[in-house]
């Protein structure tokens, strides 16, 4: 299910300035904000979209791990549905995340069904550091607040 353009959604993260690495693939928009936050905005979760996301996310995870950099991501799934393929692809992709990565991933769901699906996926992750670094939110402000808090914590821990 793609986003209905007749019903306006709350403000999405794309309104930021200083955007780099902008990519638009299938139903996915990806970019990196000036503060280093990687933004993934989904319009749908069809197989082509999920495959594009998986490729970008895996490449970015490997790069952050190799650079020993704190990876900060904001996912916006508002307006999407989450079918079996999307759930499986998400699980497989997240399981490939390097164990050594330091990351903070905020996911804006805006939908109880997606929240329950993602909670189930997170509970099944075999790497405890991944379970603790992914948090689900209903709104952008709460997600941004948590990411800012995590940045501060991770910067303190890396000194």
Compute the mean pLDDT over every residue in the chain, rounded to the nearest whole number.
85
pLDDT in tens, 49-78: 999 999 999 999 999 999 999 999 999 999
Contact criterion met (CB below 8 Å) for 52 and 26: yes
Q: Domain total for the chain?
A: 1
pLDDT in tens, 28-40: 999 999 999 999 9
**CATH code of the domain covering residue 62:** 3.30.750.24
Domain assignment present for residue 2? The answer is: no
The contacts of residue 13 (CB under 8 Å, 6+ apart) are 33, 39, 41, 74, 76, 140
Domain assignment present for residue 7? The answer is: no
């Amino acid at each position: 299910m793609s986003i209905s353009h007749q019903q306006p959604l709350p403000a999405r993260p794309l309104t930021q300035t200083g955007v780099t690495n902008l990519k638009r693939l299938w139903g996915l928009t990806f970019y990196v904000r000036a503060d280093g936050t990687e933004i993934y905005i989904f319009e749908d979760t069809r197989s082509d979209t999920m495959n594009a996301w998986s490729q970008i996310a895996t490449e970015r995870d490997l790069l952050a791990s190799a650079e020993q950099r704190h990876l900060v991501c904001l996912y916006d799934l508002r307006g999407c549905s989450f079918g079996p393929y999307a759930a499986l692809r998400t699980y497989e992709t997240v399981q490939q995340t390097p164990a050594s990565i330091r990351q903070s991933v905020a996911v804006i769901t805006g939908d109880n069904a997606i929240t329950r699906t993602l909670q189930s996926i997170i509970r099944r992750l075999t790497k405890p550091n991944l379970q603790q670094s992914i948090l689900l939110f209903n709104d952008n402000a709460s997600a941004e607040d948590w990411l800012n808090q995590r940045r501060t914590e991770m910067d303190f821990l890396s000194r």
